[in-house]
């Protein structure tokens, strides 16, 4: 029960952070959701860092990993919002921004996870 509560707390905190970052940034560029993009990339970096530190052993406890990776990163990243926003670009026929956003999100997301894992190695 304690572990579920840690995930709940982390997820709530991550969701609030996502809202505070995305709300002011998403309207800045027409048809490019900058806030969602940045949250997803930072979330990928964080989950790579957290899971990398967790794999090292005594740096993060299992409960800390649950709080940060499952809870915070799960609440912070926005794949459902990402998918909905991409649907709206397709619906409006904006194939160029759809393609750019999809490729950039996936590529930068994977690179951010790899960088987070590398960064965790450097810290230990």
Three state DSSP letters for the chain: CHHHHHHHHHHHHHHHHHHHHHHHHHHHECCECHHHHHHHHHHHHHHHHHHHHHHCCCCCCHHHHHHHHHHHHHHHCCHHHHHHHHHHHHHCCCHHHHHHHHHHHHHHHHHHHHHHHHHHHHHC
Q: Is 14 labelled as part of a ligand binding site? A: no
Q: Is 77 labelled as part of a ligand binding site? A: yes
Give which of 41, 34, 33 is closest to 85, Cα–Cα.
33
In the annotated binding site, the residues are: 74, 77
In the annotated binding site for Na(+), the residues are: 74, 77
């Amino acid at each position: 029960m304690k572990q579920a509560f840690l995930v709940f707390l982390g997820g709530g905190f991550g969701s609030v952070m996502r809202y505070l970052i995305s709300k002011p940034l998403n309207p800045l560029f027409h048809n490019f959701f900058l806030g969602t993009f940045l949250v997803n990339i930072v979330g990928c970096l964080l989950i790579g860092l957290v899971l990398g530190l967790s794999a090292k052993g005594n740096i993060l406890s299992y409960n800390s990993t649950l709080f940060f990776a499952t809870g915070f990163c799960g609440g912070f990243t926005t794949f459902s919002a990402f998918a909905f926003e991409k649907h709206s670009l397709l619906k409006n026929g904006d194939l160029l921004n759809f393609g750019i956003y999809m490729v950039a999100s996936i590529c930068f997301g994977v690179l951010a996870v790899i960088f987070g894992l590398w960064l965790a190695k450097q810290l230990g």
